[in-house]
Chains A and B, each alone.
Chain A
Amino acid sequence: MFRLFALLCVTAALLAARPGPVAAQGTADAFALLASDNYADIEKGVVAVAASGDPAAEAVLTALADGRLSYRPADRALFVREKAGTLLDAATGRPVAEAPAGLKPVRLNNRVRRALEAALGTLTLMASDPARRLAAAEAIFKSRDAAALPMLARALAAEKDARVRRALEEARAAVQLATKDAAVSDRVAAVSLLEERGDREALALLSAAAADAAPAVALSARTAAAAVERRLALAAAVQDVWYGLSLGSVLLLAAIGLAITFGVMGIINMAHGEMVMLGAYVTFLVQEVCRTRAPGLFDWSLPVALPLAFLVAAGVGAAIERGVIRHLYGRPLETLLATWGISLILQQGVRSLFGPTNREVGAPSYMAGAFDLGGLSITYGRLWIVAFALAVFLGLLAVLRRTPFGLKMRAVTQNRRMAAAIGIRTPRVDTLAFALGSGIAGIAGVALSQIDNVSPNLGQSYIVDSFMVVVFGGVGNLWGTLVGALTLGVANKFLEPYAGAVLGKILLLVFLILFIQKRPRGLFALRGRAVEA
Chain B
Amino acid sequence: MKTGMKQALAALAVAGGLALAGAPAEAQQDVIKVGVLHSLSGTMAISETTLKDVMLMLIEEQNKKGGVLGKKLQAVVVDPASNWPLFAEKARELLTKDKVAATFGCWTSVSRKSVLPVFEELNGILFYPVQYEGEESSRNIFYTGAAPNQQAIPAVDYLMQNEGVQRWVLEGTDYVYPRTTNKILEAYLKSKGVKDEDISVNYTPFGHSDWQTRVAAIKKFGSAGKKTAVVSTINGDANVPFYKELANQGVKATDIPVVAFSVGEEELAGIDTKPLVGHLAAWNYFQSVDNAANKDFIAKWKAFTRNDRRVTNDPMEAHVIGFQMWVKAVEKAGTTDPDKVIDALVGVSVPNLSGGYSTMMPNHHITKPVLIGEVQENGQFNIVSQTPGLVVGDEWSDYLEGSKDLISDWRAPLSCGNFNVKTGKCGGQGKS
Is B176 part of the contact surface with A, judged by Cβ < 8 Å? no
Is A85 part of the contact surface with B, judged by Cβ < 8 Å? no
B278 with A453: CB separation less than 8 A? no
Stretch in contact with the other chain, from B19-27, B119-127, B134-142, B251-259? B251-259
Chain B residues with Cβ under 8 A from A209's Cβ?
A: 225
Task: Give CA–CA (A343, B270) in the complex, Å.
Answer: 23
A207 with B216: CB separation less than 8 A? no
A109 with B382: CB separation less than 8 A? yes
Chain B residues with Cβ under 8 A from A110's Cβ?
A: 163, 253-254, 257, 278, 374
B212 with A109: CB separation less than 8 A? no
Given A356-B45, A500-B203, A501-B214, A381:B248 Cβ within 8 A: yes
Which residues in window 437-453 of A have CB below 8 A to B? 451-453
A351 with B41: CB separation less than 8 A? yes
Is A368 part of the contact surface with B, judged by Cβ < 8 Å? yes
Least distance between B57 CB and chain A CB atoms (Å): 16
Chain A residues with Cβ under 8 A from B41's Cβ?
A: 347-348, 351
A109 with B270: CB separation less than 8 A? no
Chain A 466-494 interface 0/1 with B at a Cβ cutoff of 8 Å (1 = within)? 00000000000000000000000000110
Is B9 part of the contact surface with A, judged by Cβ < 8 Å? yes
Instruction: Name the contact of B384 in the complex, choosing from A39, A360, A453, A493 (C-beta under 8 A).
Output: A39
Is B222 part of the contact surface with A, judged by Cβ < 8 Å? yes
Least distance between A450 CB and chain B CB atoms (Å): 8
A340 with B9: CB separation less than 8 A? yes
Chain B residue at minimal CB-CB distance from A105: B382
B241 with A451: CB separation less than 8 A? yes
Chain B residue at minimal CB-CB distance from A343: B6
B237 with A453: CB separation less than 8 A? yes
Chain B residue at minimal CB-CB distance from A463: B2
Which residues in window 309-368 of A have CB below 8 A to B? 337, 340-341, 344, 347-348, 351, 355-360, 362-363, 368
Task: Give CA–CA (A344, B224) in the complex, Å.
Answer: 48
Given A360-B269, A363-B272, A454-B270, A501:B248 Cβ within 8 A: no
- Most chain A Cβ neighbours within 10 Å, of B49, B219, B240, B249: B240
A377 with B249: CB separation less than 8 A? yes
Chain B 188-223 interface 0/1 with A at a Cβ cutoff of 8 Å (1 = within)? 000000000000001111011110111011011011
Task: Give CA–CA (A302, B41) in the complex, Å.
Answer: 29
Task: Give CA–CA (A62, B163) in the complex, Å.
Answer: 23
Chain B residues with Cβ under 8 A from A454's Cβ?
A: 270
Chain A residues with Cβ under 8 A from B266's Cβ?
A: 357
Least distance between B139 CB and chain A CB atoms (Å): 33
Task: Give CA–CA (A250, B208) in the complex, Å.
Answer: 13
Is B402 part of the contact surface with A, judged by Cβ < 8 Å? no
A461 with B209: CB separation less than 8 A? yes
Least distance between B94 CB and chain A CB atoms (Å): 22
Chain B residue at minimal CB-CB distance from A505: B205
Is B327 part of the contact surface with A, judged by Cβ < 8 Å? no
Chain A residues with Cβ under 8 A from B245's Cβ?
A: 379, 451
A246 with B212: CB separation less than 8 A? yes
Task: Give CA–CA (A464, B204) in the complex, Å.
Answer: 17
Please tell me the size bucket of the interface on B. Answer: 35 or more
A501 with B374: CB separation less than 8 A? no
Least distance between B48 CB and chain A CB atoms (Å): 8
Chain A residue at minimal CB-CB distance from B278: A110
B220 with A250: CB separation less than 8 A? no
Is B377 part of the contact surface with A, judged by Cβ < 8 Å? yes
Is A59 part of the contact surface with B, judged by Cβ < 8 Å? no
B212 with A247: CB separation less than 8 A? yes
Instruction: Name the contact of A344 in the complex, choosing from B13, B45, B219, B255 (C-beta under 8 A).
Output: B13
Chain B 48-82 interface 0/1 with A at a Cβ cutoff of 8 Å (1 = within)? 01100000000000000000000000000000000
Least distance between B269 CB and chain A CB atoms (Å): 6
Least distance between B201 CB and chain A CB atoms (Å): 10
Task: Give CA–CA (A188, B253) in the complex, Å.
Answer: 31
B204 with A457: CB separation less than 8 A? no
B6 with A340: CB separation less than 8 A? yes
Which residues in window 217-252 of A have CB below 8 A to B? 232, 236, 239-240, 243, 246-247, 250
Task: Give CA–CA (A379, B219) in the complex, Å.
Answer: 15
B254 with A496: CB separation less than 8 A? no
Chain A residues with Cβ under 8 A from B278's Cβ?
A: 108-110, 113
Task: Give CA–CA (A158, B260) in the complex, Å.
Answer: 45
Given A109-B384, A356-B45, A496-B213, A204:B271 Cβ within 8 A: no
A369 with B248: CB separation less than 8 A? yes
Is B331 part of the contact surface with A, judged by Cβ < 8 Å? no
Given A117-B254, A351-B45, A205:B225 Cβ within 8 A: yes
- Most chain A Cβ neighbours within 10 Å, of B210, B219, B250: B210
B43 with A457: CB separation less than 8 A? yes
Least distance between B307 CB and chain A CB atoms (Å): 9
A358 with B225: CB separation less than 8 A? no
Chain B residues with Cβ under 8 A from A451's Cβ?
A: 209, 241, 244-245
Is B293 part of the contact surface with A, judged by Cβ < 8 Å? no
Least distance between B256 CB and chain A CB atoms (Å): 10
Instruction: Name the contact of A455 in the complex, choosing from B220, B270, B382 (C-beta under 8 A).
Output: B270
Is B110 part of the contact surface with A, judged by Cβ < 8 Å? no
Is B292 part of the contact surface with A, judged by Cβ < 8 Å? no
B272 with A360: CB separation less than 8 A? yes
Task: Give CA–CA (A107, B244) in the complex, Å.
Answer: 25
B49 with A356: CB separation less than 8 A? yes
Is A374 part of the contact surface with B, judged by Cβ < 8 Å? no
A457 with B244: CB separation less than 8 A? no
Task: Give CA–CA (A359, B272) in the complex, Å.
Answer: 10
Is B46 part of the contact surface with A, judged by Cβ < 8 Å? yes
Instruction: Name the contact of B9 in the complex, choosing from A246, A341, A362, A456 (C-beta under 8 A).
Output: A341
Given A113-B254, A359-B270, A360-B272, A455:B384 Cβ within 8 A: no
B254 with A497: CB separation less than 8 A? no
B225 with A502: CB separation less than 8 A? no
Least distance between B79 CB and chain A CB atoms (Å): 11
B382 with A370: CB separation less than 8 A? no
Chain B residue at minimal CB-CB distance from A467: B2
Task: Give CA–CA (A209, B40) in the complex, Å.
Answer: 55
Least distance between A38 CB and chain B CB atoms (Å): 11
B225 with A204: CB separation less than 8 A? yes
Chain B residues with Cβ under 8 A from A208's Cβ?
A: 225-226
Chain B residues with Cβ under 8 A from A206's Cβ?
A: 225
Given A370-B248, A455-B237, A107:B382 Cβ within 8 A: yes
Chain A residue at minimal CB-CB distance from B2: A464
Task: Give CA–CA (A363, B269) in the complex, Å.
Answer: 15
Chain B 152-183 interface 0/1 with A at a Cβ cutoff of 8 Å (1 = within)? 00000000001100000000001000000000
Is B267 part of the contact surface with A, judged by Cβ < 8 Å? yes
Task: Give CA–CA (A461, B43) in the complex, Å.
Answer: 10
Task: Give CA–CA (A379, B215) in the complex, Å.
Answer: 12
Q: With A363-B272, A497-B217, A500-B204 given, can you name 16 additional A-B contacts, CB distance below 8 Å?
A: A108-B278, A110-B163, A113-B278, A204-B222, A243-B212, A250-B210, A356-B40, A357-B270, A360-B272, A370-B249, A377-B249, A377-B250, A380-B248, A455-B46, A455-B270, A502-B203
A residues whose Cβ falls under 8 Å from a Cβ of B: 39, 67, 107-111, 113-114, 117, 142, 200-201, 203-210, 232, 236, 239-240, 243, 246-247, 250, 337, 340-341, 344, 347-348, 351, 355-360, 362-363, 368-370, 377, 379-382, 451-457, 460-461, 464, 492-493, 496-497, 500-502, 505
Query: What are 27 A-B pairs at a CB distance below 8 A?
Result: A107-B382, A109-B278, A109-B382, A203-B223, A204-B222, A204-B223, A236-B220, A250-B210, A344-B10, A351-B41, A356-B45, A358-B237, A358-B269, A359-B270, A369-B248, A377-B249, A377-B250, A382-B212, A453-B241, A453-B270, A460-B43, A493-B213, A501-B203, A501-B205, A501-B213, A502-B203, A502-B205
B residues whose Cβ falls under 8 Å from a Cβ of A: 2, 5-6, 9-10, 13, 40-41, 43, 45-46, 49-50, 162-163, 174, 202-205, 207-210, 212-214, 216-217, 219-220, 222-226, 237, 240-241, 244-245, 247-250, 253-255, 257, 266-267, 269-272, 278, 374, 377, 382, 384
Those 7 A-B pairs whose CB atoms lie nearest each other, nearest first: A358-B270, A208-B225, A207-B225, A200-B223, A356-B45, A379-B248, A204-B223
